[in-house]
Amino acid sequence: MTPLFGQFTRSLSLLTPLLAGLTLVIMSLLPLDLTGGWLIVPALPLMAIHYWGLVRPDLMPPLAVFFIGLSFDILSGGPVGLYAFVYLATYAVLLSQRRLILARLMHQPWVGFAITMGIACVIGWLAGSVVARQALSPAPFMVQCLVSVVVYPLIERVLHFLQLRIQRELG
């Protein structure tokens, strides 16, 4: 392997969490109707933020979280800054409780994500209500929370595979 190629693969490994988050942003915006007209989209970008925030927070800094949220805001056509705020606020709570989550829920990542998703739903509902200048119905937030928790184990497997590849590449 040439030194230049080695540097490129190392750089790509360092960017994998951000790229995974951005890929999940795009996937969450794809028009996919599996529910007969109901728009229920799991919080895919938050799954990457949660996973990397626990496993490798050094590779998912707050700036990357902000960029993922801002990308979601811009590409979805929503209020610019809303999801950037929701993701950053949720990430701050996640990091503040990281040791506790890893110590008590290390073998139950699904439960840890359920807690993170619940926090994100409350923050999202509050922030959305502030932006809308009225109390929004919490039902869509609760449904998204439930769907996200159900889908998380599938996405977590893919993210875990990527993390093993990074670990192998970075040593």
3-state secondary structure of 87: helix
Task: Give residue for tokens 């030194």.
Answer: 3
pLDDT of residue 110: 83
pLDDT of residue 72: 97
- The reply to whether 32 falls in a domain is no
Between residues 125 and 167, which one has the greater pLDDT? Answer: 125
- The reply to whether 1 falls in a domain is no
- The reply to whether 3 falls in a domain is no
Query: 35 with 78: CB under 8 angstroms?
Result: no
- The reply to whether 28 falls in a domain is no
pLDDT of residue 122: 96
Whole-number Å distance between alpha carbons of 71 and 152: 21
Q: What confidence tens digit (pLDDT) does each residue in 77-103 have?
A: 999 999 999 999 999 999 999 988 888
Q: What confidence tens digit (pLDDT) does each residue in 6-28 have?
A: 677 777 788 999 999 999 999 99
Q: Closest Cα partner for 156 from 81, 78, 54, 48?
A: 48
pLDDT of residue 2 exceeding 90, the answer is no
- The reply to whether 20 falls in a domain is no
Q: Closest Cα partner for 64 from 52, 81, 80?
A: 52
Whole-number Å distance between alpha carbons of 111 and 95: 16
Number of domains in the chain: 1
- Categorize the per-residue pLDDT at 5 as very low, low, confident or very high, splitting at 50, 70 and 90: low
The C-alpha R_g of the chain, in whole angstroms, comes to: 16
- The reply to whether 57 falls in a domain is yes
Q: Could you tell me the residue range of the domain that residue 75 belongs to?
A: 42-170
Instruction: Please state the pTM of the whole predicted model.
Output: 0.90
